[in-house]
Chains A and B, each alone.
Chain A
Amino acid sequence: MLRWILGGREAQGTVEKSAALFIGEEQPKNCFTEMQVLKGHFDIVRFLVQIDDLRFASAGDDGLVLIWNVETGDCLIELRGHTQQITAMISYTFIRGGNAHTALITASSDRTLSLWDPDSGNRVQNISDLQSPVKCLLVLVCLDVWLSGGNELCVWNRDFELQCKTVHHSDAGISAMVELPKNFIAAAMDKEIVIFKLNLSGSDIAVMAMRHLADHQDTIHSLIHINDGLFASGSHIGELIIWDSVDWTIQAYEHILWEEPARDGQSEFKLNHQKQIERSIQHMSSDGEYIVAAIGSGLYVYNVLMKSVVAYRRIAHDSNVLHTVLQRLMSCSEDGSVRMWELQDLPLPAEPASSGFFGMFGTFGRSSKQTGPPAKKIPEVPGLRSLELIGDLIGHSGAVQMFLSFKEKGLVTCSTDHLLIIWKDGEFQSQLRSLAVFQKLEENQEL
């Protein structure tokens, strides 16, 4: 790509080795033809939280929380107060006076927890001098309490009063939590998943550890809720475990090995090295039936009900995938791009496996041929479909940390380059503007 700018005549003769996929500029299925760049942060933006249909909050390493309007792109309110980077942010909806209010809870490295009113910008509650910084937050709507996880697990009520907490655990602390039925909580602590139980006796709440699930071989990076009966965890070395939410037994165990062991011996060292980096499950998301996992720089779609792999792509991005979403299959990565995928049925595997395989994956482009998925897996997984890249969003100049979809209103991405971008459907926006024009004409009686 750089060559033609530098004066080379062969424009796109060779695709660089690192480029996983090149979709080109013709993207008919990509509806995001309008972008709005939001400036306001001074450091990496890591978190996006939706407040309501119109508003979302962003937070990051500068300790600022900004509330934005997704339609206009205006920054509505700046929430200032934290002196250090924000480590967790969650929205908290409660009923007061018959109306639902949404507030924001933020946790920061400065060992404070704050409750913000996004309408007024007030810091409604604040707790400082915590023993350890909070790494994750969880709201239990049914109990109207919320939990903070750091080195210990604390339970708070709506008025920011500490209800109870666990004893000090370990230096690793709690990195993720999910709610389980019957007031149980699963928390990921380094290689273990700890099941806690919240005991309610009158207005008092007590918390106690019920069980330690030590089936992962390495640090758990991702812990998600799949449906009422299942939750999933993913570890640094590519172990994906599906758990039963009630009796905490393993429902499925997948150890995702991108590289076939001893497939080609000459680059063994290199592959071993790669394994450590690339198999880590950084993020997972689920719609109750499928899980999409970001594994290294690849994507992995798993059907929970069938307990089988649906589709995967070993190299979906140029570098690690940081966030995924399943509804409209998308992934964002450290390479600064957001990619949109589509699950497509593969041609019937009637042909001989090997040639059919290469025929199929030829559509992926040159690079995927070079590093094609292991051939042995094909017969193992008969229902395999392919993940086709249908579009990419390029705008950020740093890693895209997270994105948040507002359905037809657009998609918000946040990045290390301090920016947020709202990607919008240009055609839809154009129609909205037309409607606004005619509305204004009517108001001004110029029709």
Chain B
Amino acid sequence: MIGSPDVVALTKEDDFGDSFTDPCSLPEEFSVPLFAHAANANPWTKTSYAKFSKDFILVSEFSEQVGPQPLITIPNDPKVCGTFDLNYFSLRIMSVDYQASFVGHPPGSNYPKLNFVEDSKVVLGDSKEGAFAYVHHLTLYDLEARGFVRPFCLAYISADERKIMHQFQELSSEFSKASEFLKSGNRKAFANELEKKLKDLEYTRLVLHKETELQKMNNGCYSTQAIEKANELANVEKSIYEHKDLLRQITSYPSRKKKDVDFIQQETEKPADMSVIDDTLNSHHSDIADKTVETESKSRKSSYTPQLIKAKSAKCFDKRLKTMEELCDASFFHQTLEQLNIIEKSFRGDLCLIYTSQIDRALLSKQSVTSFLFEAERDWEYGGTSKNFSISSNNPTVPILNLSGEPLSLDSYTTCIDVDHIKPGVESMEGPPESSTSDITQETSEAADTETKGSFSSDKSIEAFGGVSPSSLQANYFDGLERKSKVSIASPSENASSSVAVPQRTSDGNLVPMDAACCIGQDGFIFEEPLPELAQECCGDTVVNQEPLSFLQGDPALQVDYTFEESALAESPNMGLTFSELNTEEVAKINIEDVSDSTSFMSASTSSDRAVSLFTYGSALTLKQKKKAGHSALRFIRQYPFAQQAIFCLLSGRTLVILGVDEGTVRKLVNALFIFVPNLGKYGETVQPWLSSPFQLTDLQRWKLIGLQRAASPAGSSILHSLNRYSRYISILDCDNKTLRCPPYKGTLVSHLADHRTQIKRGSTYFLHVQGMLTQLTAKAFLYTFCHHIHLPMDINDQGSVTSRRTNFLLQLSYTVEESKIVHYLSELIKQHYIQGSSKGGNQSFCFNYTTSYLYKI
């Protein structure tokens, strides 16, 4: 962590005169614009006059039937928008600029022409509402829409005008990505639709042709019916021609964007999706009477039967307009939603925080030589199209940062939404895709049945929005989303009951009543916490994947258990609300994190080997996991007086074996200690959380932290034998006897890092503290590695002097002999990393020292 937003925000303008320039100050491009420090105003009260609690993304449509209407908000939480009038705001943002794209019959042309227009991006402010928005307009094609075009807009709404202005470039580039997903999906769907329509038309032509022939045979050439039929036929012909032309236009869309890897992947990914869309498209072609056909075609899927259609399209208001998801290919739509979620996450929080994290990332990217040691690996930053980051603070045209990955440094702001966000990825992979879609289509067609078309008032749609209950948060996220995207046409009475539930839940909230979102966040968080890990752990294991779902759907006993554990484990003074004046939301969430730590430990110690663990092979470690580990580490330090020695072992590269009978306890300790393992690897490759077979010599090379089972079996004795055999290379932490056998450590460095009397209360704070210390250590190791004169021999027979110069250098850095080992080890890692590049291949050698170990007891 490079900087803390709190510190930056509270920094005053230079009080000590201008003449002094701090030599250590950051270069101009990395400085954060200071908060305008007017009248000691609390910088976090700024949003108070806005009617929504935090920034959100609004997706709106200018419907040709009902006018501007909101479709989706991200985060998908009614509390975020609060009393903010989405309907009104949709009207405002849609009225700005949507006619930029013109489709239809241009003068001098006989048939409709598609205009591939660029999206428009504007900033819009509404001082009365206290809302400022970045508005991204785009148009999607719909064969049944007026002029084949459906205007949509994506808006990022914030109470902070400066945020919108300063982050315009980033917003624009991120929203362009989202828009591009939508549009490419739309082109695909539109082309499909056109093809179907063409088939229909050709079929109709065939039928008409036959009928005309028949008419001619029966009544002669010039009978009224015959002429009518001929006219109809001509109309169909013309329609075919027009549609063919449209198809040509849409397929000849400049494929410049296709170069993007994502798109290629998407195109090749799911051919099965096509059929699903076909069904939905099909069902909307004709009336509801065709519902039987729809279900039929669902069973067949692959083949499409052309239908007899009328040459003239139905009137505008006679039909239900396609939803956004139908307009785009489903996978593209989900990708868009994902992207929007990412945007929401990465721009969450104060402007200052965003700046800090951007600078953080920019700086980290420059430190690729050392950042692998303790920083979370972010290969999306280094890989491929690495841009040169240069941030200038006061210039609004900040170069575009690649924010497409997980916004790691913003995770302290995570809520239940985050958890949700991870989950659907798994489920959408595994769940049968038809089931949910078919549900939805049924639901919508039912809704279309009951509702008289076009009778929505704007109020109702808003109400429907407000009626999204927190319980739906706990349900399948995508289901929820899809439902919400249909909410505008669903009957409001359906939602009435669930909307009642909201105030009840808020009254439960024992934290900060003023912000109900927190409480909901907490509930959701605690119940769902183990989910992503479980889901990740057993990817593809459907049995276990079911488990959390049923659990979610509200087994009261389980929930009681959980709350019990929660209260039992809340013995640490973490729950204090002393920071409420700072940022209530964050405090609440941090508490939640801590509590969930404890619960996950509890479950880990009691349940089977499915126990919650941070380490699951194949899943990347997130910063969030590391922060939670901070909490465990804090507990470890308080509990074990020899924590410093254990941490010293890890830092100096000596493998630490945690030996115990109980898997839960061992895993708990592994979780507590893994943040101290240098070069942890993206997936925590250097840690083996649970091993029940004897380890080999090569394992010592691979793993620096091993959880080992102590068993009273023949296998167990061979495990002990291997421990004994390699005892000079390892340190052993015995969970059961609470002993540690390791080399002695004398020094202050690790005691700063792991002070058992530390005043730090919270896991995430402690994690940041550790990060800070480790960054400092890394900086020293960097200095040591790249200091020219201490490593290069003066002449050929000069090995001895190099050694002494090295030793002296480390002594000058005021490191003791033991601490020198840490720096030395880090330095070796840096060297190896630099020489070999980031590739982990090759046969690594394994360094060790010949030192006596001692047995430490509690």
Q: Which residues of A contact B (CB under 8 A)?
A: 1-2, 4-7, 11, 24-28, 30, 33-39, 72-74, 336, 391, 394-397, 419, 421-422, 424, 426-431, 433-438, 440-441
Q: Is B701 close to A, CB under 8 A?
A: yes
B843–A1 CB distance below 8 A: no
Q: Which residue from chain B places its CB closest to the CB of A433 in the assembled complex?
A: B831
Residues of chain A within 8 A of B659, CB atoms compared: 5
Q: Is B216 close to A, CB under 8 A?
A: no
Residues of chain A within 8 A of B824, CB atoms compared: 430
A397–B845 CB distance below 8 A: no
A437–B847 CB distance below 8 A: no
Q: Which residue from chain A places its CB closest to the CB of B722 in the assembled complex?
A: A397
Q: Which residue from chain B places its CB closest to the CB of A437 in the assembled complex?
A: B831
Residues of chain B within 8 A of A38, CB atoms compared: 843
Residues of chain A within 8 A of B855, CB atoms compared: 4, 11
Q: Is B589 close to A, CB under 8 A?
A: no
A391 interface neighbour in B737, B827, B828, B850, Cβ under 8 Å: B850
Q: Is B608 close to A, CB under 8 A?
A: no
Q: Which residue from chain B places its CB closest to the CB of A12 in the assembled complex?
A: B855
Q: Is B774 close to A, CB under 8 A?
A: no
- Contact A438-B792, Cβ < 8 Å, known A25-B852, A397-B725: yes
A36 interface neighbour in B793, B828, B845, Cβ under 8 Å: B845
Q: Which range holds the interface residue count of chain B? A: 35 or more
Residues of chain B within 8 A of A440, CB atoms compared: 834-835
A33–B792 CB distance below 8 A: no
B726–A433 CB distance below 8 A: no
A33–B848 CB distance below 8 A: yes
Q: Which residue from chain A places its CB closest to the CB of B791 in the assembled complex?
A: A434
Q: Which residue from chain A places its CB closest to the CB of B833 in the assembled complex?
A: A437
A34–B834 CB distance below 8 A: no
Residues of chain B within 8 A of A28, CB atoms compared: 850
A394 interface neighbour in B725, B793, B799, B853, Cβ under 8 Å: B725
Q: Is B299 close to A, CB under 8 A?
A: no
Residues of chain A within 8 A of B726, CB atoms compared: 394-395
Q: Which residue from chain A places its CB closest to the CB of B843 in the assembled complex?
A: A73
Q: Which residue from chain B places its CB closest to the CB of A6 in the assembled complex?
A: B720
Q: Is B757 close to A, CB under 8 A?
A: no
A2–B724 CB distance below 8 A: yes
A37–B846 CB distance below 8 A: yes
Q: Which residue from chain B places its CB closest to the CB of A421 in the assembled complex?
A: B697
- A433–B784 Cα distance when bound, in Å, is 13
B615 to chain A, nearest CB (A): 24
A25–B698 CB distance below 8 A: no
B802–A33 CB distance below 8 A: no
Residues of chain B within 8 A of A419, CB atoms compared: 697
Residues of chain B within 8 A of A72, CB atoms compared: 842-843
- A6–B701 Cα distance when bound, in Å, is 25
- A28–B734 Cα distance when bound, in Å, is 28
Residues of chain B within 8 A of A433, CB atoms compared: 828, 831-832, 835
Residues of chain B within 8 A of A39, CB atoms compared: 698
Residues of chain B within 8 A of A35, CB atoms compared: 845-846, 848
Residues of chain A within 8 A of B578, CB atoms compared: none
B728–A394 CB distance below 8 A: yes
Residues of chain A within 8 A of B741, CB atoms compared: 4
- A4–B857 Cα distance when bound, in Å, is 12
Most-contacted residue by chain B among A30, A35, A72, A436 (CB, 10 A): A35
- A34–B792 Cα distance when bound, in Å, is 21
A-B pairs with the 6 shortest C-beta distances?
Answer: A434-B791, A27-B850, A36-B845, A73-B843, A433-B831, A34-B847
21 contacting pairs across A/B (C-beta < 8 A): A5-B723, A11-B855, A26-B850, A26-B852, A27-B850, A33-B848, A34-B847, A35-B845, A36-B846, A73-B845, A74-B843, A421-B697, A427-B803, A428-B799, A429-B845, A434-B831, A436-B835, A437-B831, A437-B834, A438-B791, A440-B835
- Contact A30-B834, Cβ < 8 Å, known A4-B855, A394-B726: no
- Told that A26-B851, A440-B834 touch, could you supply 20 new A-B pairs with CB distance under 8 A? A2-B721, A5-B724, A24-B852, A25-B851, A25-B852, A30-B850, A33-B847, A34-B846, A36-B846, A37-B843, A394-B726, A397-B697, A424-B845, A426-B848, A429-B845, A430-B824, A434-B785, A436-B835, A437-B834, A438-B792
Residues of chain A within 8 A of B793, CB atoms compared: 431
- A30–B849 Cα distance when bound, in Å, is 10
For B765-807 the 0/1 string (1 means CB < 8 A from A) is 0000000000000000000011010011100000100110000
Residues of chain A within 8 A of B698, CB atoms compared: 37, 39
Q: Is B732 close to A, CB under 8 A?
A: yes
For B697-724 the 0/1 string (1 means CB < 8 A from A) is 1100100000000000000000011111
Residues of B815-858 at the interface with A, using a CB-CB cut-off of 8 Å, are 824, 827-828, 831-832, 834-835, 842-853, 855
- A38–B697 Cα distance when bound, in Å, is 11
A253 to chain B, nearest CB (A): 41
- A36–B721 Cα distance when bound, in Å, is 21
Residues of chain A within 8 A of B497, CB atoms compared: none
Most-contacted residue by chain B among A72, A419, A426 (CB, 10 A): A426
Q: Is B727 close to A, CB under 8 A?
A: yes
Residues of chain A within 8 A of B799, CB atoms compared: 428, 431
For B539-550 the 0/1 string (1 means CB < 8 A from A) is 000000000000
A395 interface neighbour in B697, B739, B788, B847, Cβ under 8 Å: B697
Most-contacted residue by chain A among B659, B721, B785, B831 (CB, 10 A): B831
Q: Which residue from chain B places its CB closest to the CB of A395 in the assembled complex?
A: B697
- A426–B850 Cα distance when bound, in Å, is 11
B678 to chain A, nearest CB (A): 16
Residues of B729-771 at the interface with A, using a CB-CB cut-off of 8 Å, are 732, 734, 736-737, 739, 741
- Contact A34-B728, Cβ < 8 Å, known A2-B720, A25-B851, A25-B853: no
B517 to chain A, nearest CB (A): 49
Q: Which residue from chain A places its CB closest to the CB of B845 in the assembled complex?
A: A36
- A440–B786 Cα distance when bound, in Å, is 12
- A422–B697 Cα distance when bound, in Å, is 13
Residues of chain A within 8 A of B739, CB atoms compared: 4
- A435–B786 Cα distance when bound, in Å, is 10
B608 to chain A, nearest CB (A): 26
- A72–B722 Cα distance when bound, in Å, is 27
Residues of chain B within 8 A of A428, CB atoms compared: 799
A361 to chain B, nearest CB (A): 23
Most-contacted residue by chain A among B723, B725, B788 (CB, 10 A): B725
Residues of chain B within 8 A of A441, CB atoms compared: 786
Residues of chain A within 8 A of B827, CB atoms compared: 430
Residues of chain A within 8 A of B737, CB atoms compared: 7
Q: Which residue from chain A places its CB closest to the CB of B726 in the assembled complex?
A: A394
Residues of chain A within 8 A of B844, CB atoms compared: 36
Residues of B153-173 at the interface with A, using a CB-CB cut-off of 8 Å, are none
- A270–B791 Cα distance when bound, in Å, is 58
- A93–B287 Cα distance when bound, in Å, is 90
- A146–B124 Cα distance when bound, in Å, is 92
Q: Which residue from chain B places its CB closest to the CB of A2 in the assembled complex?
A: B724
Residues of chain A within 8 A of B727, CB atoms compared: 1
B844 to chain A, nearest CB (A): 8
- A336–B739 Cα distance when bound, in Å, is 29
Residues of chain B within 8 A of A427, CB atoms compared: 803
Residues of chain B within 8 A of A429, CB atoms compared: 845
Residues of chain A within 8 A of B732, CB atoms compared: 5
A36–B720 CB distance below 8 A: no
Residues of chain A within 8 A of B785, CB atoms compared: 434, 437
Q: Which residue from chain B places its CB closest to the CB of A27 in the assembled complex?
A: B850
A225 to chain B, nearest CB (A): 33
A181 to chain B, nearest CB (A): 38
- A441–B802 Cα distance when bound, in Å, is 19
- A431–B801 Cα distance when bound, in Å, is 11
A435–B792 CB distance below 8 A: yes
Residues of chain B within 8 A of A11, CB atoms compared: 855
Residues of chain B within 8 A of A431, CB atoms compared: 791, 793, 799, 802
Q: Which residue from chain B places its CB closest to the CB of A23 in the assembled complex?
A: B850
- A422–B701 Cα distance when bound, in Å, is 13
- A30–B848 Cα distance when bound, in Å, is 12
Q: Which residue from chain A places its CB closest to the CB of B737 in the assembled complex?
A: A7
